[in-house]
Structure formats: C-alpha cells, structure tokens
Structure 1
Amino acid sequence: MKIFLVRHGADEEGYRGGWSQRGLTEAGIIQSRALGTYLYEHAEQYDIQTLISSDLPRAMQTSNSIEESLGIRGIYTPDWREMNNGDMAGMLHAEAEEKYPGIYFNTLKMDTVFPGGESPTQFYARIRNAFENLCIQLEEKRIQSNVLLVTHGGVINILYYVLANREWSNTSSFYPIDNTSIHTIQNMEKGWSILDTNRIPHLRS
C-alpha cells in the first residue's frame, strides 16, 4: 500500500502563494504533462488507482494532466491546500510588503494567524488530520491503493516531519521538494515510512 506525494508544477513568481488562485506557468504545464506521460509509461511500476488533489488551481492543473494520461478521475478537496495566508493570497510581493510589512510564513508565531487566514499550528493540525483520515480510508478500503496525491511544498514538508516523528514549526528546515517531484511512502509493518524522495526522472529526459 503506497501513497505517492507530488508537488504541483511551477507557478508564477513574484506573488504570495498559499491559497493563491493563480495557476501554472507555461513551464509548469510542460512539467505536469511530462509527469503524466512518465506515469503512463511506468503504469505497472506505480499502479495508481486513486488520484487525490488540492483544489487550488496550480494543483488542479497538474492533476488534470495526470487525469488525461492515466484515465483516472481526480478527487479534489480543500483538505490538501497549502497554508491559508488569507488576505495575502496571490498578492504581489511588493504590495504585500507595503500592506503587511514583515509578515511571512516563518515570521509568524505558531499560534498567530495570517490576516484572514490560519496559523502555523492550525495548518499543521489540518494536514496531520488529512493524512490520518487518508490512512483510515485506505485501511478500511474506502479508496483504492495506490494513491497519487497532488499537493504543495509546505504540505509535503509537514508530512516528512510527521512520518519521521519529528517536531515541526514554521521555522523548521525544508526538505528538497521540486515542482512535480514524486515522494513515495509505504505502509510497512511498523506504520508508514518514506521509501523514495524528490524524484524528477520525467524532467531529465
């Protein structure tokens, strides 16, 4: 039983991310199509039965390319969104700095919310709960394994800490998580473990 975590393709620079409604760049679309083709060509290796995705545009566009290649219909949910940065979502960096000077993901206290958004503690709890619910659904066979989960860098980073049983905060270091990279976790005898990290073979061909 495996879950393949995938970060969305490249999106526009110069804007605050989080719950931004901005989509992929042309490069991000190319990356996503390459990933879809790679997964189709290696279908026996991955044996993906379920596709789940964040419902933010950059993740949905990435998932659409995979849907087209694999012929699997995606399940789109807000559970797997990036951290909710509220009023700053999709805002130009310069505008955000003018209106909300000094407010960044890693400058918030753990229980301090983004204006109109959520706190790092709330973000962590949301992602941990989403992962626990996903595991329950798999164990109870309410969804089929293997699962491909298209989400965001901040989300995957939290899952690394959860799986390693390490304490996480918004100032914790980030694991390498490239756009459209594949991170493989598997349910072993002692629980879920990380098997493979940050694979991008589809971008090297």
Structure 2
Amino acid sequence: MKIFLVRHGADDEGYRGGWSQRGLTEQGIIQSKQLGNYLHHHAEQYEIHTIISSDLPRAVQTAREIEEKLNIPSSFVKDWREMNNGYLAGMLHEEAEKNYPGVYFNALEMGSPFPGGESPRNFYNRICASFDTLCRDMEEQKIESNVLLITHGGVINILYYLLDKREWSNKSSFHPIDHTSMHTIEKIVNGWSLSTMNMVSHLD
C-alpha cells in the first residue's frame, strides 16, 4: 500500500504562490507530460489506481497531463491546497512588498494568519488531518491503493516532518522538493514511512 506524493509542475516564480489561481508555465506543462509518460511506461512498477489532486490550477493542470496517460480520472480536493496566503495569493512580488511589507511565510508567528488567509498552525493541522483521513480511507479500502497525490511543496514538506516524527514550524528547514518530483510513502508494520525522496528521473 503506497502513496506517491507529487509536487505540481513549474509555475511563474515572479508571483506569490499559496492559493494563487495562476497555472503552469510552458516548462511546467512539459514536466507534467514527462511524468505522465514515465508513469505510463512504468505502470506495472507503480500500480497506481487512484489520483487525488489539490484543486488549485497549477496542481489541476499537472493532474490532467498525468490522468490522460494513465487513463485514471482525478479527484480534486481543496484540503490538499498549499497554505492559504489570503490577499497575497497570485500577487506580483513587487506589489506584495509594497502592500504587505515584511509579510512572508517564515516571518509569521505560528498562530498568526496571512491577511485574509490562514496561520502556519492551521495549515499544519489541515494537512495532518487530511493525511490521517487518506491513510484511514486506504486502510478501510474506501480508496483504492496505490494513490498518486498531486499537491504542493509546502504540503509535502510538512508530511516529511510528520512521518519523521519531528516538530514542524514555518521556520523549519525545507527538504528538496523539485517540480513534478515523486516522494513515496509506504505502509509498514507500525504505520507509514517514506521510502523514496525527490525522484525526478523522468526529467532526465
């Protein structure tokens, strides 16, 4: 029983991410197609039966490229979104600096939300609850394994800390999580464990 975490393809780095409604760049679309082709050619190795994705456009576009190759429809779930950065979502960096100077993810207190958004603590709790639900649904066979979960870098980073049983905060260091990288979580005797990290061989 496995969960394959995938970060969405590349988006425009000139804008704030979070709950941005901006989509992929041309490079991001190419990366997503490459991953889709790779999973199609290695279908017997991965045995993916379910695709779940964040419903933000950059994740949706990534999922669409993959589901076309695997012939598996995606389910789009709001709970797997990146952190809600409120009014800053999708804003040009220069505009954000002007209107909200000093407001950055790692500058917030754990209980302090982005203007119009959520706090790091709320973000962490949302992702932990979503992961618990997903694991339980797989174990109870409400969701068919194996699962490909297309989400965001901040989400995957939280799951690294959760699975390693380490405390997370918005000031914690960030694991290597490249665009369209895959990170494998496997069911073991005592729970779930990471077995493959930041796999990007499809981009070679």
TM-score, normalized by length of structure 2?
1.00
- Extract structure 1 runs of 4+ deviating beyond 3 A: none
Q: SS of 1:179's equivalent? A: coil
Task: Please name the residue that 1:121 is paired with.
Answer: 121
Q: SS of 1:156's equivalent? A: helix
Task: Please name the residue that 1:99 is paired with.
Answer: 99
1:190 is displaced (CA, Å) by: 1.1
What is the distance in 2 between the residues matched to 1:2 and 1:14? 35
Q: SS of 1:198's equivalent? A: strand
1:96-134 deviation digits (Å, cap 9, x = unpaired): 000000000000000000000000000000000000000
Task: Please name the residue that 2:194 is paired with.
Answer: 194
Unaligned runs of 5+ in 1: none
Unaligned runs of 5+ in 2: none
Amino acid at match of 2:61: Q
Aligned residues: 204
Report sequence identity in percent. 67
1:128-187 deviation digits (Å, cap 9, x = unpaired): 000000011001100100000000000000000000000000000000000000000100
1:13 is displaced (CA, Å) by: 1.3
1:137 aligns with 2:127: no
Amino acid at match of 2:20: S
Q: SS of 2:185's equivalent? A: strand
Amino acid at match of 1:18: G
RMSD over aligned Cα, in angstroms?
Answer: 0.3
1:63-91 deviation digits (Å, cap 9, x = unpaired): 00011000000000101000000000000
Task: Please name the residue that 2:82 is paired with.
Answer: 82
Task: Please name the residue that 1:159 is paired with.
Answer: 159
